[in-house]
Amino acid sequence: MILFELIDFDILRVIWWVLLGVLLIGFALTDGFDMGVGALLPFVGRTDVERRVVINTIGPVWEGNQVWFILGGGAIFAAWPPLYAVSFSGFYLAMFAVLAALILRPVGFKYRSKRDSAAWRSGWDWALFVGGAAPALLFGVAVGNVMLGVPFYLTEDLMPMYDGAFYAKFLGLLRPFAILSGVVSLSMLLMHGAAWLTLKTEGPVQMRARTIGTYAGIVAAVAYALAGVWLALGVDGFQIIGEVAPNGPSNPLYSEVERGGSWMAAYSARPWIIIAPIMAFAGIALAVMGLRAGREVSTLLWSKMAITGIISSVGLTMFPFILPSTVNPDSSLTVWDSSSSHQTLFVMLVMAVIFMPLILAYTAWVYKVLWGKVTEDEITGSGHSY
């Protein structure tokens, strides 16, 4: 109880904003290379055995990696209920497409080798490609739409309403800047998947992964730079006008928000956040150099740094906004007015402090046990591989 009284509501809100970012980054760092490997599968593996090698680099770990995705969704539901209500209802068609693509992965792993048919296996290989590439692209498109603002508003009783029907809810999300954000996400995760394959494979598969990963990293750097310029010159930002109430009620209509100016004003107000894009560009450059030089562990670590920088730059640039509204800016969701109660956030924090270290320790143990390369001899000589 004493600790509960010591941690102010505004501090808890910021802590859970940070934790949400940590969960999203954790998902990208772990399941991100799974998606990247799936998207690379038809291109780095030329023979059936080579493709089985690629699949078996992620086969033992992908389910554990998706825990971060589940934790992220759970955190949004419990810590930021309005965000969950608006995003999961307004984007349900896009989310259905993501989930449908993700479902292809376990089904593809399970059924690919059930028949000794080249056409059958090739079909499932392309299904695994879709299961990796589509979510990687659509997650970036979603982030781009968040920065552009979403056409929703809140009624007086805080019921979220979404403007438009099918077009606005799915096809309307495919705006040019959002597509560019999707390119950043896809190329970033392709580079990450290539870095993972460089670590886990050898021979022709490793060489092809290094080549494709190098080009993917270059595309990621160029697309990220273009997105930054576009954000500075062609995208209106949002800002709270009047008094900010960090300890105010969890009512998004409590704040007054206007649309205008630039998101890049955040770098003048908080110059230290420049560290995020620096990490992004430096991580990409070092990962690309590592891929070209044939380095393995360090390349994967630099790729992780790049992903951390790219995702962090979005959150730090938008703070305190979480989901801006283009229909009624006053309905925009911010860190200060769209969280759960003080007590709920505190209880959740206690649970996170207890269970997060256990998850991290178990994950580290799994990767230690599974350390080492996946070879063709191992695949052909084992009856337990995919």
Q: For residue 261, what pLDDT is reported? A: 82
- Over range 106-114, report the average pLDDT: 87
Look up residue 205 and give its two tokens: 């598969």
Average pLDDT over residues 36-63: 91
Considering only CA atoms, give the Rg of the chain.
Answer: 22
User: For the chain, how long is the longest CA-to-CA vector?
Assistant: 69
- The answer to whether 227 touches 310, Cβ cutoff 8 Å, is no
Mean of pLDDT values over 145-161: 86
160-162 and 321-323 beta bridge pairing:
unpaired
How many degrees, rounded to 5, is the angle at CA 58 between CA 54 and CA 62? 150
Instruction: Indicate the DSSP class of residue 246.
Output: T
Q: Which residues pair with 238 in a beta bridge?
A: 259
Q: Which of the residue ranges 16-20, 274-278, 324-328 would you say has the lowest mean pLDDT?
A: 324-328
In tens, the pLDDT along 216-266 reads 999 999 999 999 999 999 888 899 887 888 888 888 888 888 888 889 999
**Cβ neighbours for 172, distance < 8 A, ≥ 6 positions apart:** 151, 164
Rounded Cα distance between 186 and 139, Å, is 9
Structure tokens at 176: 């040019």
- Which helix or strand (DSSP H or E) is residue 241 part of? strand 236-241
162, β-bridge pairs? 152
Beta-carbon-side half-sphere exposure of residue 361 (alpha carbons within 13 Å): 6
Domain ranges in the chain? Answer: 2-380
For 340-366, write each residue's pLDDT tens digit.
989 899 999 999 899 889 888 988 888
Phi/psi of residue 160, nearest 5 degrees? -75, 135
**Residue 167's pLDDT is what?**
55
The pLDDT score that the predictor gives to residue 382 is 66
Please tell me the pTM assigned to this model.
Answer: 0.92
pLDDT tens, residue by residue, 309-352: 999 999 999 999 999 998 889 889 999 988 998 989 999 999 98
- Separation of alpha carbons 185 and 147, rounded Å: 14
Q: What is the pLDDT of residues 164-178, one digit of tens each?
A: 655 556 667 788 999
